[in-house]
């Protein structure tokens, strides 16, 4: 009996929300889980925002000509709204809600914690959208390359592009994250380079923050990190772990 804690889960770039079996380890411990599809990616959610111009393949430059139309402006709002939906469910204790995700999902976890006071804990794995300009400069592959490809075709839009992206860059929002936070980073990561994550981590407003370094990993996670994440989420939420 009684209200249960909750976790909002955000997925990686171009993916979809984790399926129920993937979320079972949390649900089996009595945690309510909400997994969000990012609009127009590989899930069931569409994007009905009308934009005035095209963009390079992917979502990094979708609407970048205007901050009001930028794709990630809406995705960040979706991430916060997902938290509100989770907290509004009957039987969910809105004071015990955490956020987590990998890559894009790790970035959205930080964004949700920056833009909402709902989360009591963040576990952000190898987060994307951190120090985006640095990522565009040094990442040899992955979504950051979309921006350099776009600017190669539209050099006159460089100033506007950086101005728009600055609104969603987690480097600029990090000081608003004040709840306990764990961030992971792979030192061989060539999609979300470690330098982008380090800079954002240093700016986190939380006084209780931890950076877990995987010295030999690329854009991936060890099994052990997955175990640690599960235990940390349960402990932070005060969930009673099954023996």
Residue at 200 is within a domain? yes
242 in a domain, yes or no?
Answer: no
Q: What rounded mean pLDDT belongs to the chain?
A: 94
Q: What's the total number of domains in the chain? A: 1
Please state, in angstroms and rounded to a whole number, the distance separating the CA atoms of residues 218 and 194. 10
User: How far apart (Å, rounded) are the C-alpha atoms in residues 119 and 178?
Assistant: 9
Tens digits of residue pLDDT in 119-148: 999 999 999 999 999 999 999 999 999 999
Answer yes or no: is 184 within a domain: yes
Query: What integer is the mean pLDDT of 56-83?
Result: 93
- CATH number, domain at 185? 3.40.50.1820
Residue 42 pLDDT grade (very low, low, confident, very high; cuts 50, 70, 90): confident
pTM of this structure: 0.94
Share of the chain above pLDDT 90, in %: 87
Domain that holds residue 131: 4-237
| Rg (the chain; Cα; Å) | 17
User: Is 188 domain-assigned?
Assistant: yes
Among all residues, which ones are annotated catalytic?
103, 189, 219
* Residue 163: pLDDT over 80: yes
Q: Within a domain: residue 221?
A: yes
What is the pLDDT confidence band of residue 1, given thresholds at 50, 70 and 90?
low
What distance in Å separates the CA atoms of residue 143 and residue 140, rounded to the nearest whole number? 10
Answer yes or no: is 205 within a domain: yes
In this structure, what token pair is assigned to residue 35?
Answer: 């997994």
Q: Give how far the C-alpha of residue 211 lies from the chain's centroid of Cα atoms, to the nearest Å.
A: 16
18 domain-assigned = yes
Instruction: Look at residue 243 and tell me if it is in a domain.
Output: no
Per-residue pLDDT of 72-92, as tens digits, reads 999 999 999 999 999 999 999
């Amino acid at each position: 009996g009684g209200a249960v804690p909750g976790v909002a889960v955000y997925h990686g770039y171009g993916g979809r929300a984790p399926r129920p079996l993937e979320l079972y380890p949390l649900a089996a411990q009595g945690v309510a889980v909400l997994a969000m599809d990012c609009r127009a990616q590989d899930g069931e959610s569409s994007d009905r925002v009308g934009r005035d111009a095209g963009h390079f393949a992917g979502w990094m430059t979708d609407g970048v000509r205007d901050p009001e139309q930028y794709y990630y402006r809406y995705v960040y709002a979706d991430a916060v709204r997902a938290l509100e939906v989770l907290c509004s469910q009957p039987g969910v204790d809105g004071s015990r809600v955490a956020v987590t995700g990998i890559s894009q999902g790790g970035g959205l976890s930080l964004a949700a914690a920056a833009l909402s006071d709902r989360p009591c804990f963040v576990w952000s794995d190898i987060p994307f959208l951190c120090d985006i300009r640095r990522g565009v400069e040094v990442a040899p592959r992955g979504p950051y390359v979309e921006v350099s490809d776009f600017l190669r075709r539209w050099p006159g839009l460089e100033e506007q592009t950086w101005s728009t992206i600055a609104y969603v860059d987690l480097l600029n929002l990090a000081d608003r994250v004040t709840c306990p936070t764990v961030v992971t980073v792979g030192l061989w990561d060539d999609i979300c380079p470690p330098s982008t994550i380090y800079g954002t981590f240093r700016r986190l407003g939380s006084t209780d923050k931890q950076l877990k370094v995987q010295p030999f990993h690329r854009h991936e996670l060890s099994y052990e990190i997955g175990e640690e994440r599960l235990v940390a989420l349960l402990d932070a939420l005060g969930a009673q772990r099954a023996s």
